[in-house]
Amino acid sequence: MEKRYVISLDQGTTSSRAVLFDKQGKALAIAQRPLNQIFPQPGWVEHDPMEILSDQLGVLTELLLANSIQPEEIDSLGITNQRETTILWNRKTGLPIANAIVWQCRRTAPMIEELCKHPDVTKMIQEKTGLIPDPYFSASKIRWLLDHVEGAQEAAEAGDLAFGTIDSWLIYKLTNGKVHATDPTNACRTMLYDIHKGDWDDDLLKLFGIPRSLCPEVRPSSGYFGETSNPTSLMGIPIRGVAGDQQSALFGQCCFEPGEAKNTYGTGGFMLMHTGTEAVQSHCGLITTIAASAPGTSTIEYALEGSVFMCGALIHWLSDDLQFIDDVAQTSDIAASIPDTGGVMIVPAFTGLGAPWWDADARGLICGITRGTKQAHIIRAALEALAYQSCDVLTAMQDDAQCCIKTLVVDGGASSNDFLMQYQADMLGCNVCRPINRETTAAGAAFLAGLSSGFWKSTDELKELHTIKDCFEPRMSDEDRTARLKDWHRAVQRARSDSERD
């Protein structure tokens, strides 16, 4: 039977999805299930690994049945996933020893704070991994599980446990335990992986007391990761593409060359700029990460990244918790209905501040409220805050890379918000372009899989499939932009922790 499709499994922070792509790179159909969020304590975030597995198998089956597709028509599977989220499971039973600790979770902040008291250790981590020590990354999460789950350290030392980010967990279960693997884009987010040598680092493993036997094999992002054998009705589909969600979006946006950048407005906000084969070390609070590469790439490719912890989650806070709106899509019209925020400023540091501040103890702030403040002012201030955060990241990125970005391609749920996209262009002072295909995260994993199999022949072919739908041009004066950013930075200083405040 003719191979007509590639399927991407897109396992995110708030949902698990399966997306069907055709030869033209078009997303034909999507099946999706929401993912329960578990909050055992303030600042703690967990997921149930078995729910993740069940949901991904469920949406994959739904996608095939709803579209009358036979497994034999599927060329390959790609997997893209929320990064840093950490699972430990027993190799004998195949069961997790605890809930997954999600990337947003701040429970290991004291551990990282203690680590950062030693400048030589901090320097070693940054030089080897490109990361700034933070609870965000996987290493301290692994250490916490080994310390707090009874018998976990002993089992790990005996070789009975396996560690994985979400991609590794899905690969392991989809192949019925035959393959324990990950790719460089996920491995580099653990704070245990040397991004220059392309291997797990013995010094870092020793620092956190983590046996090397826990770690998955690292395979190229576009390559072979085994075949599905669970459930039996889906046997024999090759898994050929794996990438962490943000590197997958960079690839899906066809940012293959140095200086090309994208911004994803998902649960968090993530801006990445391709830097080619040079691992640019940031001096402005960004991190250096590995970019997904096409098959046959002989050298490691890199990107600069800035992470904003609260993005789409901020909009859902307005809807789900404050109940200001019934539908997040309403926010664009509401924000545009008033001329400004009336002096209201929001700093959404609900789980600390990410790049370029990296203040784990910062907390959210709403300031400038008067008797005349209305819901519309709060809603507009929230959207503006998303643009301000991305502006800080892009400014740092351009300083580090010594280049000027003229166009930023965007994706993610909030990229459909016209008010936000126009305000983003105004604050960045550059064009913000939205492609026809907004499923760029899922597309990246599909492209990696299809390139590996020959379903698509080259990155040049993929570029021809990448079409821009809308382009927002900056309309704000430099004077106005500077004044607004000054107010924003004043609010950020108020939100920062005492130890980090200027």
The two structure tokens encoding residue 25: 């790179």
Of 105-114, 163-172, 323-332, 355-364, which has the strongest mean pLDDT? 163-172
Q: What is the pLDDT of residues 136-171, one digit of tens each?
A: 899 999 999 999 999 999 999 999 999 999 999 999
Percent pLDDT > 70 in the chain is: 98
The mean predicted confidence, pLDDT, of the chain is 91
Closest Cα partner for 347 from 357, 334, 338?
A: 357
Pairing of strands 217-218, 261-265: unpaired
Helix runs in 402-439, H state only? 418-428
C-alpha–C-alpha distance, residues 113 and 133, integer Å: 9
Query: Is the Cβ–Cβ distance between 288 and 306 less than 8 Å?
Result: no
SS3 176: coil
Pick 264 or 186 by higher pLDDT. Answer: 186
Mean per-residue pLDDT, 236-243: 94
Mean per-residue pLDDT, 353-375: 88
The two structure tokens encoding residue 5: 């499709």
The two structure tokens encoding residue 422: 């126009």
CA 413 to the chain's CA centroid:
13
Q: Is the pLDDT of residue 364 over 80?
A: yes
Q: Is the pLDDT of residue 232 over 60?
A: no
User: In DSSP terms, which residues pair with 297 in a beta bridge?
Assistant: none
Range from 1-5, 70-74, 204-208, 419-423 carrying the lowest mean pLDDT: 1-5
- What is residue 196's predicted lDDT score, i.e. its pLDDT? 95
Q: How confident is the model at residue 267 (pLDDT cuts 50, 70, 90)?
A: confident
Q: Is the pLDDT of residue 310 over 80?
A: no
The two structure tokens encoding residue 446: 């599909």
- What is residue 497's predicted lDDT score, i.e. its pLDDT? 86
C-alpha–C-alpha distance, residues 374 and 371, integer Å: 9
- What is residue 324's predicted lDDT score, i.e. its pLDDT? 84
- What is residue 233's predicted lDDT score, i.e. its pLDDT? 61
C-alpha–C-alpha distance, residues 204 and 129, integer Å: 9
C-alpha–C-alpha distance, residues 364 and 496, integer Å: 9
Q: How confident is the model at residue 55 (pLDDT cuts 50, 70, 90)?
A: very high
Domains belonging to the chain, first-starting first, are: 5-243 (3.30.420.40)
- What is residue 499's predicted lDDT score, i.e. its pLDDT? 56
Q: What is the pLDDT of residues 456-465, one digit of tens each?
A: 999 999 998 8
- What is residue 439's predicted lDDT score, i.e. its pLDDT? 86
- CB-count exposure of residue 157 (10 Å: 0-12, 13-18, 19+): middle
Query: Is the Cβ–Cβ distance between 171 and 238 less than 8 Å?
Result: no
Q: In what order do the strands lie in the sheet with 27-34?
A: 27-34, 15-21, 5-11, 74-81, 239-244
C-alpha–C-alpha distance, residues 213 and 481, integer Å: 52
SS3 433: strand
- What is residue 22's predicted lDDT score, i.e. its pLDDT? 94
Q: Is the pLDDT of residue 483 over 90?
A: yes
The reported pTM is: 0.86
Q: Is the pLDDT of residue 266 over 80?
A: no
Closest Cα partner for 177 from 216, 210, 150, 151?
A: 216
Q: Is the pLDDT of residue 476 over 70?
A: yes
CA quadruple 321, 327, 330, 331: dihedral, nearest 10: 30
Contacts of 151 (CB under 8 A, 6+ apart): none
Query: Is the Cβ–Cβ distance between 237 and 71 less than 8 Å?
Result: yes
- What is residue 136's predicted lDDT score, i.e. its pLDDT? 86
